[in-house]
Amino acid sequence: MRLFLVRHGETSWNRAEIFRGRIDVKLNEHGVEQARRTAAILSALNLAAVYSSPLSRALETARYIAEPHRLPVIVEDGLTDLDYGKWQGLTHEEVKEQYVDLYRLWNTAPHKVRFEEGESLEDVRRRALEALDRIAARHNGQNVVAVSHRVVTKVVLCALLGLDNSHFWHIRQDPCAVNVLEYSDRHGFVICRLNDTCHIKPFYKGMETIDF
């Protein structure tokens, strides 16, 4: 199986650096264009299925990708975003002021953080890998897309590289980045491409992409 693991397109909360998590934020104008461009580069593939997190920003992205292939989008709860608990809906500055110690820990040792009323990176890693295993079991030898979130993709990539979650900040994932994984019974998942954004770089025209 070849799995195209895609981060969703941009939302207004990405630009404003507001923690999203399980709050359902839709794509902004840039995000829609990113999703369309991502769909265009994947349109030539013979896709067997398109999976998505249940959140709108991922579902919208997945629907653009699925449309040329006339495929339904299959919701996979294991791909949903990290639950930031009480941080959700707050800006970086608000979190920095209200949760001084936890914010410092998040930026220096993210693997040690469990969000109050939320999740840890290990929780996300476990459920996301279980979701990918379920997808792989259904699609032997096929091309599949899975649309998810920055945190989910980063902890999955850490796992596949044999890294623990302390390396979370060492991997970048931009909006609508495409990661290509190949699965075999012999080796499991192998990373073939990481954070590919060539398809959306012309759209930015010098504007910085964002890993948030």
- Residue numbers annotated as active site: 8, 149
- CB under 8 A, 24+ apart: contacts of 98-103: none
Q: What tokens appear for 123 in the block?
A: 């929780």
Q: What tokens appear for 141 in the block?
A: 């030898």
Cβ-Cβ contacts under 8 Å for 26 (sequence gap 6 or more): 11, 56, 57, 60
Spatial separation of the C-alpha atoms in residues 17 and 137, rounded to whole Å: 37
Within 10 angstroms of residue 32's Cβ, the number of other Cβ atoms is: 16
Q: What tokens appear for 163 in the block?
A: 């890294």
Which residue's entry shows tokens 């991922």? 58
Residue 18 has, within 13 A of its CA and on its CB side, a CA count of 14
Spatial separation of the C-alpha atoms in residues 81 and 84, rounded to whole Å: 9
Contact, 104 vs 92, CB < 8 A? no
Helices (H) and strands (E) in the chain, counts: 8, 6
Q: Which of 92, 75, 73, 74 is nearest to 84 (CA)?
A: 92
